[in-house]
Structure 1
Amino acid sequence: MPNTRATALSLTLTLTLAATAALGVSAAHTAQATPPPTTCRGQGVDPTAPIRYSSDVVIDAPLTTIWKLQTDVERWPTWQPPVLTADRLDNGPLRKGSHFHWTTPAPATPSTPATTLGITSTVRQLQNHHCILWTGPAIGEGLRIDEGIHLWTFKKARNGIHVHTEETWTGDQVESDIPTATKALAGGLETWLRDLKTAAEKGATQR
């Protein structure tokens, strides 16, 4: 007659091992499914900032066209209606350490008036035709963002160039209303991607 206690113990052990293996596979799958943070030469947005947004677009245009639009700062107002002015504060190609000042309108919110933000940006990292990261405060009448950190990456895709952008904001004023600030940030980035895609693809067809 079989030893029922031994049989039960064996069955329990088998089920436990199976469950452990399944959990191990699940944990491994979860770990693999979580992509590493996006960076430019090892630097990225603020991982602790409560206000953040990221988005992507595929642009059917040469990478050189897209890169020139993005890094020729003084020409931003010619293809981005939300950029009112843009001025380089140094000379030569845009590079790590470059500074530029630009302005953009900010609509009224329940807690802040409509204003024009003046943004002084510093390029923290740049890899030609691959990525760029800049930071800086944005200050307007009745509105202040202590620091924005803005990252862009560009990669070749099957049907064009995959452009990824993400940005974080910090500062007491914007952090007092995180949903409103996040909505404003999202709207700005989506508009920028749309304008970049339109300008790049139009330029590509005119070549």
Structure 2
Amino acid sequence: MRFEHSITVQASPERVWQVYSDVERWPEWTPTIESVERLDEGRIHVGAKTRIRQPKLPVAVWEVTEVKEGEYFEWVSKAPGIKTTGGHRVASTPEGTVATATIVQEGPLGWIFGRLYAGLTRRYIATEAERLKAISERA
């Protein structure tokens, strides 16, 4: 299962990246995240781990697997039978900065979990995009 949502933000790519990549502060600007606990310190980097609590979802530990500073980071959360990959991309366009979130669920239970939580997943990534836009444009 794959979910994706993009939004155009009227703020610099640097500003959008600053907000998007500061995962510890996500609970301050989006209601889809109850709490974030970094399990290491510093900017996000390959190997960094973060524990996230979200309404209506199990607590998950996410490990960063790829970072291109200022443009993209990807992280993975694993549970028995399912691997979830989250991507966060920032791209400059003539219309503004486009922020894109992706969620990919794989594994024997990935399809089932994806189907059961499809509506919630779509709502969460759309809400996160709208809130990212609002907080990025405010500064």
Partner of 1:200: 136
> Quick check: 1:74–1:86 contact (8 Å CA) kept in 2?
yes
SS in 2 for 1:175: helix
Matched, 1:176 2:127: no
RMSD: 2.0
- In the alignment, structure 1 residue 86 sits paired with structure 2 residue 48: no
- Contact kept, 8 Å, 1:73 with 1:86, in 2: the verdict is yes
Is 1:166 matched with 2:102?
yes
Is this contact kept in 2: 1:57–1:193, CA < 8 A? yes
In structure 1, the residue matched to 2:78 is 137
Sequence identity (%): 19
Aligned equivalent of 1:18: none
How many Å separate the matches in 2 of 1:104 and 1:145? 20
| Alpha-carbon spacing, 1:177–1:166, altered in 2? closer, same or farther (3 Å) | closer
CA distance in structure 1 between the partners assigned to 2:58 and 2:19 by the alignment: 22
Shift of 1:174: 5.4
Residue 155 of structure 1, aligned match among 64, 87, 91: 91
1:59 corresponds to which of 9, 12, 32: 9
Give the alignment partner of residue 69 of structure 2, picking from 125, 128, 137: 128
Contact 2:2/2:103 (8 A) holds in 1: yes
Larger proportion of strand? 2
**If the length of structure 1 is used for normalisation, what is the TM-score?**
0.61
Structure 1 stretches of 4+ with a deviation exceeding 6 A read: none
Contact 1:56/1:163, CA 8 A, preserved across alignment = yes
Aligned residues: 139
Change (3 A) 1:145 1:121: farther
Give CA-to-partner distance per residue, 1:99-158, whole Å, 9 cap, x none: 11110011xxxxxxxxx42110000000011111111136xxxxx872210112211111
1:189 and 2:125 correspond: yes
Say if 1:150 and 1:167, in contact at 8 Å, map to a contact too.
Answer: yes
Q: How does 1:9-28 map to 2 (within 5 A)?
A: none
Partner deviation per Cα, 1:35-62 (whole Å, 9 max, x = no partner) = xxxxxxxxxxxxxxxx211121110012
Equivalences for 1:19-38 in 2 at 5 Å? Answer: none
What are the ranges of 5 or more consecutive residues in structure 1 without an aligned counterpart? 1-50, 107-115, 139-143
Instruction: Give ranges in structure 2 of 5+ residues lacking alignment.
Output: none
Structure of larger gyration radius: 1
Q: Relative contact order: is structure 1 or structure 2 higher (C-alpha 8 Å, sep ≥ 6)?
A: 2
Secondary structure (helix, strand or coil) at the match of 2:42 reads coil
